[in-house]
Amino acid sequence: MILAPSRPGIYARGSETVDHILKAALGVLIDEGADAFTLRRIAARCDMKVGNVSYHFPRKEMLIQVMLDEMLESYDKLLEEMVRKPGLVAEERLKLVIILCLDDIQTKRTTHLFTELWALANQSAFVADRVRLFYGKVHEVIGEYVAQVNPALSADEVHSVALFISASMEGSTPFLGHQKPWAHKMPVFTAMAAMSLVHLAKTVTSRDLAGLMTEAA
Amino acid sequence: MILAPSRPGIYARGSETVDHILKAALGVLIDEGADAFTLRRIAARCDMKVGNVSYHFPRKEMLIQVMLDEMLESYDKLLEEMVRKPGLVAEERLKLVIILCLDDIQTKRTTHLFTELWALANQSAFVADRVRLFYGKVHEVIGEYVAQVNPALSADEVHSVALFISASMEGSTPFLGHQKPWAHKMPVFTAMAAMSLVHLAKTVTSRDLAGLMTEAA
DNA sequence: ACGAATATTTGAAGACTGTCCAATATTGTT
DNA sequence: AACAATATTGGACAGTCTTCAAATATTCGT
């Protein structure tokens, strides 16, 4: 089990410095990539010496872990804000979540951070764990609406559909995300996703998910 | 315009060495990630000294470019092999391509390489360019079948649908790829993808793609 | 305003990195 | 067999990186 490291910074000044470091670290990762994610660049970004970063985060790994936790927490909040829309039925909510997610994917922040995260998860058990937990929540949110528009599905089937919807959206990141080759097609992509994925959620049957590969070729 | 660097290695021995270096480099990227992608690790993997790698590839960037070109070329071949299946109508071919692509995504090689590539494309214009060219071909292959199952679509609309199909499949990589959290759900994911994406290709209309956000909220 | 706790700077250690070069070994051709 | 072209080794180089310890500066409760 991997636990969340507690955040350093006792005095008001130190606490602010920790804020600056974390913000700068995220900025470096977004703007310059994992390759440039060094203490020196992070320190330079908040006009500070390397030793000070090293003082507040004795190990670089700690900085990464705290930064990742805060970042994913902010996305959790974003996700919850999407949900809190009054006066909508499940199908409308599902459609709205799709639209808002694809909208967020277009930001530089999300496009860069999540592509980096998917790569880092290949090697780092910590990153892989946090990514898994985060998307688990995403699937829960989406699954809630899937279950409502298609009550016949079992809990596991609902999760499978939510997983497909989530993956379909995330897959747009490297291709239609911020400054990606087909970014200009995001509007039509969104229209297709909303239509196709909502239709899938409403019409898919246990039979569809059970039959599997029997008639593949 | 970025050109493909020509491959060094004049004598038979040197040519073999270049092969080993390229294979080892790809192995390092797959097994240990971009962070461990150093000349020394690559050299160690093929029992050779750093200076020799440096001799065959005077700049590290050259090694990266040659490696990436050869790798994407191998995927091009794989893609063409998928296409050459006799006696199938367009819909069956589309379904088969989806199944084979998702099958390939489950390999460690593809799961790791493409997630790394998407991240590297954020910073490297060269990687971004090659990724764009590669997926351009993917869209062409898929688009060919989309156009056949849905002749009413314009060329641009066909590409949009192909882009959506491709992105939906690629999106499975970080979640259902090799040793990813929901890898065990790839069979049901494949069933859903084949059904849903083929249905989309057959039934989507110009109207669907033009209406856009008019009734979003 | 004093003094302890905290923050920051400075400097340096030790381990990396990519690149380069001279010496040596191997290859292919004549 | 001789000889030039190519390949390989081993080491040096100037950087960079993280980490650490000592010295200095700042903050906060008293």
What pLDDT does residue A216 have? 44
Considering the domain architecture, whether residues A105 and A63 belong to the same structural domain is answered as no
A21 part of a folded domain: yes
CB half-sphere exposure, B180, CA atoms < 13 A: 31
| A103 and A197 inside one domain | yes
Q: pLDDT grade, residue B212 (50/70/90)?
A: low
Look up the domain containing B35 and give its range. Answer: 7-58
Q: Of B34, B184, B195, B197, which Cα lies nearest the Cα of B106?
A: B184
Q: Are residues B132 and A174 in contact, defined by beta-carbon separation less than 8 angstroms? A: no
Give the CATH number, domain containing residue B87: 1.10.357.10
Q: Are residues B35 and B141 in the same domain?
A: no
Mean pLDDT of A121-128: 97
Q: Is B56 exposed, middle or buried (0-12, 13-18, 19+ CB in 10 A)?
A: buried
Domain limit, last residue, from A18, A35, A67 = A67
Q: Is residue B88 part of a domain?
A: yes
- Token pair 């939906």 is found at B168
In a domain, B183, yes or no: yes
Domain count, chain A: 2
Look at A216 and A201; give whichever has higher pLDDT: A201
Residue A60, CB, less than 7 Å from strand D? yes
The first and second tokens of residue B19, run together, are 């092969």
Same domain? For A118 and A211 the reply is yes
Please give the angle made by the CA atoms of B173, B157 and B155, to the nearest 5 degrees.
110
Mean pLDDT score, A88-116: 96
Cβ contact B118–A193 (<8 Å): no
Q: pLDDT tens-digit profile of A29-42?
A: 999 999 999 999 99
What's the rounded Cα separation, in Å, for the pair B112 and A121?
10
Q: What is the pLDDT of residues B167-202, one digit of tens each?
A: 999 999 999 999 999 999 999 999 999 999 999 999
The helix/strand count (H/E) of chain A reads as: 11, 0
Same domain, A30 and A107: no
Q: Residue A26 falls within a domain, yes or no?
A: yes
Lowest mean pLDDT among A208-212, B163-167, B209-213: B209-213
Higher-pLDDT residue of B212 and B159 is B159
CATH code of the domain covering residue A144? 1.10.357
Could you tell me if B18 and B71 lie in one domain? no
pLDDT digits (tens, 9 = 90+) for A179-210: 999 999 999 999 999 999 999 999 999 998 88
B163 neighbourhood in chain A, CB within 8 Å: 175-176, 182, 185, 189
CATH code at B43? 1.10.10
CA dihedral sign of residues A94, A96, A102, A104: negative
Q: What is the dihedral of CA A159, B92, B163, A209, to 10 degrees?
A: 0
Is residue B154 within 8 angstroms of chain A, CB to CB?
no
Give yes or no for residue B214 having a pLDDT over 80.
no
Closest residue to D21 (CA, C1′): A51
Selecting from A115, A167, A185 the residue whose C-beta is nearest the C-beta of B118 gives A115
- Based on the fold, state whether residues B91 and B38 are members of the same structural domain: no
pLDDT at A3: 44
Q: In this predicted model, what pLDDT tens digit does every residue of B52-109 receive, in sequence order?
A: 999 999 999 999 999 999 999 999 999 999 888 888 899 999 999 999 999 999 999 9
With 80 as the cut, is the pLDDT of residue A101 above it?
Answer: yes
Quick one: A99 and A183 in the same domain? yes
Residue B130 tokens read as 């090659």
* A79 found inside a domain: no
**Residues A162, A121 share a domain:** yes
pLDDT at B85: 83
User: What token pair was written down for A74?
Assistant: 């902010």
Which one of B168, B202, B207 would you mutate to disrupt binding with A, by most A Cβ within 10 Å of its Cβ? B168
Q: Which residue of A has its CA nearest to B32?
A: A123
State residue A211's pLDDT score: 63
Question: Tell me, what CATH number does A26's domain have?
Answer: 1.10.10.60
Is the residue at B209 inside a domain? Answer: yes
- So what's the pLDDT on residue A162? 98
Residues A145 and A210 in one domain: yes
In the numeric block, the tokens 């040659």 are attached to B66
Report pLDDT for B3. 43
B2 in any annotated domain: no
Q: Give me B88's structure tokens.
A: 């199938």
**Considering chain B, what is the average pLDDT of its residues?**
93
Within this chain, do residues B41 and B78 fall inside the same structural domain, yes or no?
no
Domain presence at residue A95: yes
Above 60 in pLDDT, residue A4? no
Q: Which residues contact A158 (CB under 8 A, 6 or more apart)?
A: A143, A146, A147, A150
Say if residue B115 is in the same domain as residue B169: yes
Burial class (CB in 10 A: 0-12, 13-18, 19+), B16: exposed
B55 touches strand D (CB under 7 A): yes
Quote the minimal CA–CA distance from A15 to chain B in Å.
31
